[in-house]
Structure 1
Amino acid sequence: MANPFVHIELSSNDLPGAKTFYSSLFDWKLEDMPMGPGMVYTTIGVGEGTGGGMMPNAVPGTPSFWLAYVNVDDIKAATAKAEQLGGKVMQGVTPVADMGWFSVIVDPSGAALGLWQAKAA
């Protein structure tokens, strides 16, 4: 597949509760990763398949939500193309430590989607 889903992320209003719930419901391996002052990101290891992460919800006034990310070869071009096609850019191209870049778009129907480009190894 040219653009597979590569990451699923939970933004939670109750991260400790979500971690307890999902680690009890599924056989997921949760691991906290410090991401800078005051920020901890919890990775979700699922064994086979697409893994993900959990973090505190950073969008005030919204319920907790899951966001899927799709792999792209050129994050800047894909983000611009989404906007040209009638989508909205909710989060512009943003670096993630030494791992890569992401952006968040909303399609014309109102559905949010993350785009991801990993740094070359």
Structure 2
Amino acid sequence: MNNRVLHFEIHVEDPVKAGEFYKDVFGWKIESWGGGDEPYYLVSTGDENTPGINGGLMKSMDGQTRTVNSILVPDVDEYVAKVVAAGGTVALPKMPIPGVGYLAYLIDPQGVLFGITHMDPEAK
């Protein structure tokens, strides 16, 4: 099923320090994921057979701390157009996540930042 929250990202000043916090408090597994200019950490929040989602931890690109939820869609370009037509704006245009798919960050009419993703293992 599409159009469900797929992934969260926690944007912080110090991802290593934040990762230690989430490991200590919640027992989450934090692992470095290569690629890109800035370090990115995959966050496993628990057993795959338990309801919930996993996410990522990264240095905030603009210095603002936040959590960004990404929604799985069939096509990023199609949904960017839908969001803009409904009064939203583009915060970060479509970009590839190599080997995973494509991602764009958008802002809804109330000012909430969110991501949309479509899977494509050929993304480069």
Alpha-carbon separation, structure 2, partners of 1:29 and 1:16? 12
Percentage of identical aligned residues: 27
Aligned CA RMSD, in angstroms, stands at 1.5
TM-score by length of 1: 0.90
Aligned residue pair count: 118
The answer to whether residue 62 in structure 2 is matched with residue 59 in structure 1 is yes
Give 1:78's aligned residue.
79
Give 2:112's aligned residue.
111
Deviation (angstroms), 1:22: 0.6
Alpha-carbon separation, structure 1, partners of 2:12 and 2:72? 23
What amino acid is aligned across from residue 66 of structure 1 in structure 2? T
Alpha-carbon separation, structure 1, partners of 2:2 and 2:101? 18
Q: Secondary structure at the match of 1:73?
A: coil
Deviation (angstroms), 1:17: 1.6
Give 2:26's aligned residue.
26
1:107–1:28 CA distance, 2 compared to 1 (3 A): same
Q: Give 5+ residue unaligned stretches, structure 1.
A: none
What amino acid is aligned across from residue 22 of structure 2 in structure 1? Y
Q: Give 5+ residue unaligned stretches, structure 2.
A: none
Q: Secondary structure at the match of 1:105?
A: strand
Alpha-carbon separation, structure 1, partners of 2:35 and 2:99? 11
The answer to whether residue 109 in structure 2 is matched with residue 101 in structure 1 is no
Alpha-carbon separation, structure 2, partners of 1:99 and 1:120? 5
What amino acid is aligned across from residue 98 of structure 1 in structure 2? G
Deviation per residue, 1:52-83 (Å, 9 max, x gap): 000111114x2x11100000001100011100
The answer to whether residue 14 in structure 2 is matched with residue 40 in structure 1 is no
Deviation (angstroms), 1:15: 1.4
TM-score by length of 2: 0.88
What amino acid is aligned across from residue 43 of structure 1 in structure 2? L
- C-alpha contact 2:2 2:74 (8 A) present in aligned 1: no
